[in-house]
Chains A and B, each alone.
Chain A
Amino acid sequence: MCKFAFHYNIFEMNRSIITVVGKDTVGIIAKVCSYLAEKNINILDITQTIVQGYFNMMMIVDTGNISEGFDMLATDLEELGNGIGVQIKCQREEIFEKMHRI
């Protein structure tokens, strides 16, 4: 087995941004992370901040290996968010790259 098998090639990855916005409660990250683990989605980065009293979290994830469609992933995460009273969005990274990088 190739020893570089676990090295990610960032150019081949299909990165998406998951954002969670809402009132801070216990277990938000845990719930999102267990869902992602279940779907074999690797988390590359997590940042969080508070904007105008609201909890904002951003995860950069690799959606290159998802077996179901992107739509299914986005819908599942939205529903997960509804269940815990926060808004969860999943978007492909390019929209942010294009808008903020020349």
Chain B
Amino acid sequence: MININEVIETNRMIEKENLDVRTITVGINLLDCASDTVDEVCSRIREKIIRTAGKLAATAETISREFGIPIVNKRVSVTPVSLVGASACKSPEDFVRIALALDEAAKTIGVNFLGGYSAIVSKGMTESDMLLIRSIPEALARTERICSSVNVGSTRTGINMDAVRMMGETVRQTAEATKEKDSLGCAKLVVLCNAPDDNPFMAGAFHGVTEPDAVINVGVSGPGVVKYALESVRGASFEVLCETIKKTAFKITRVGQLVAQEASRRLGIPFGIIDLSLAPTPAIGDSVADILHEIGVEKAGAPGTTAALAMLNDQVKKGGVMASSYVGGLSGAFIPVSEDQGMIEAAECGALTIEKLEAMTCVCSVGLDMIAIPGDTPASTISGIIADEAAIGMVNQKTTAVRIIPVIGKTVGDTVEFGGLLGHAPVMPVNRFGCCDFISRKGRIPAPIHSFKN
């Protein structure tokens, strides 16, 4: 039987160390909502989302209450909209109408973000993909809860540089379209390489075509719990350090697994995966940078940071994999700047640069995330940053992503306030040398060699 110390430990994690389930995300297939008129597509989409996930928010609240664990976000991911709207949409404006319908459905069922306003263009773009990408700036400016993602490359296909060029421009246009809100639209737009089909975390969540009609994916969190556990092993060997992280990751993940199974049972939707992530928030004590500090680097970004992060990421997976029957999504440590108080401080004091963050993305779970850059950064430079990240993902067979915000009207030294879970960030300097000639080349970068293994 459970003993009092175990109960105290669990409740301390929840109350003092910010342990929570970061998101329950219901993935919904919308391929059966396709039609030849936009009105019909919108009406079918609204109906299906409300029918499938209408009880999500209330069910999550009940589970949270019964187990005493906060479930921070309730979200929905849908089939990439470029596929759903392919036969109905003849212009970017048509796609914007679908975005508005999705936003309305998200509000109706009470989810704070809905992901899947997406296109998968890792090898080439269809007419529909192109229209959707062109519609992104307006769609994000006119909706509140829609998240958009575009997958521009993969290890199998190489990098679609035409899409990379287009996304550099799209990021800038989105920043312009939402400049009254510190270019907030870009915080809901991510450019990926090797995007997973079952990621529950925004902004890159979409419901892949390999998935069933509906599925529950759960993202766990808990940087504060790991940090607290590491405080008790200061000065200990790497063996002790790794064991401590693994045990903590195991405990965190088991809670996620329990919540996922309960949500699946109560909603009658199959359980998909647990995403084993350390997802920071701007709250004090809920920071991945603080874990790196606890491991022994003075500030995130100091020499040694990449090695410390690589170890942390690996131990989180090793501990978490045993705790869950199915692991997927992004799984690892997130290193967003604006959403992590320790990262914000490191960026403010000059310890952390975009170049160092790029190195860290080689070993973390995703990529350059929530980084504010000067508003006058050229589109080709943004495309260059996207291409660099995609190359890291392609060659290392991992997911990488870019979610950067060129804040219109602001420059290095200014601060941007996004609010809520998105936090705030200092505007970080970007290398001022250009890559225009590289980005203006047409076509794609071929897939790397991974076959000659004999």
Contacts and interface: CB of A to CB of B under 8 A. Distances in A.
B236 interface: no
Interface stretch (B29-37, B182-190, B250-258, B360-368): B250-258
**Interface size class, chain A:** 20 to 34
A28 B8 CA distance: 18
A17 to B, nearest CB: 6
Interface stretch (B60-68, B411-419, B443-451): B60-68
A11 to B, nearest CB: 13
Interface in B232-283: 251, 254-255, 257-258
Contacts of A3: none
A48 B4 CA distance: 7
A47 B5 CA distance: 10
Given A70-B66, A74-B65, A94-B258, A100 B8 contact: no
Interface of B: 1-11, 62, 65-69, 251, 254-255, 257-258
A68 interface: no
Nearest to A69: B62
Contacts of B62: 71
Given A94-B258, A99-B254, A19 B7 contact: yes
A100 B66 contact: no
Interface in A34-57: 45, 47-49, 51, 56
Contact of A95 (B3, B5, B69): B69
Contacts of A47: 3-4
B6 A70 contact: no
A71 B65 CA distance: 7
B255 A98 contact: yes
B10 A100 contact: yes
CB-CB nearest 4 A-B residue pairs? A91-B68, A95-B67, A98-B254, A58-B4
A60 B8 contact: no
B67 A92 contact: yes
B65 A49 contact: no
Given A91-B66, A92-B66, A60 B11 contact: no
Given A94-B258, A95-B255, 19 more contacts: A17-B7, A21-B11, A47-B3, A48-B4, A49-B4, A58-B4, A71-B62, A92-B67, A94-B67, A95-B67, A95-B258, A97-B2, A98-B254, A98-B255, A98-B257, A99-B254, A99-B255, A100-B2, A100-B251
Given A99-B254, A100-B2, A19 B65 contact: no
Contacts, number: 63
B4 A96 contact: no
Contact of B10 (A21, A48, A99): A99
A15 B149 CA distance: 44
B11 A19 contact: yes
B199 to A, nearest CB: 24
Contacts of A93: 2
Contacts of A21: 11
B178 to A, nearest CB: 39
Interface in A8-41: 17, 19, 21
A74 B69 CA distance: 13
A17 B65 contact: no
B389 to A, nearest CB: 36
23 contacts: A45-B1, A47-B3, A47-B4, A48-B4, A49-B5, A51-B8, A56-B4, A58-B4, A60-B1, A60-B2, A70-B65, A70-B66, A74-B66, A89-B68, A92-B66, A96-B6, A96-B7, A98-B255, A99-B10, A99-B255, A100-B2, A100-B6, A100-B251
A96 B8 CA distance: 10
A95 B7 CA distance: 9
Contacts of B257: 98
A48 B7 CA distance: 11
Contacts of A94: 67, 258
Interface in A77-102: 89-100
Given A89-B11, A91-B68, A94-B67, A99 B4 contact: no
A99 B66 CA distance: 15
A60 B69 CA distance: 18
B8 A56 contact: yes
Contacts of A56: 4, 8
Nearest to A92: B66
Nearest to A74: B65
Contacts of B9: 100
A2 B286 CA distance: 55
Nearest to B68: A91
Contacts of B1: 45, 60
A21 B68 CA distance: 15
Contacts of B66: 70-71, 74, 91-92
A35 B4 CA distance: 21
A70 B258 CA distance: 18
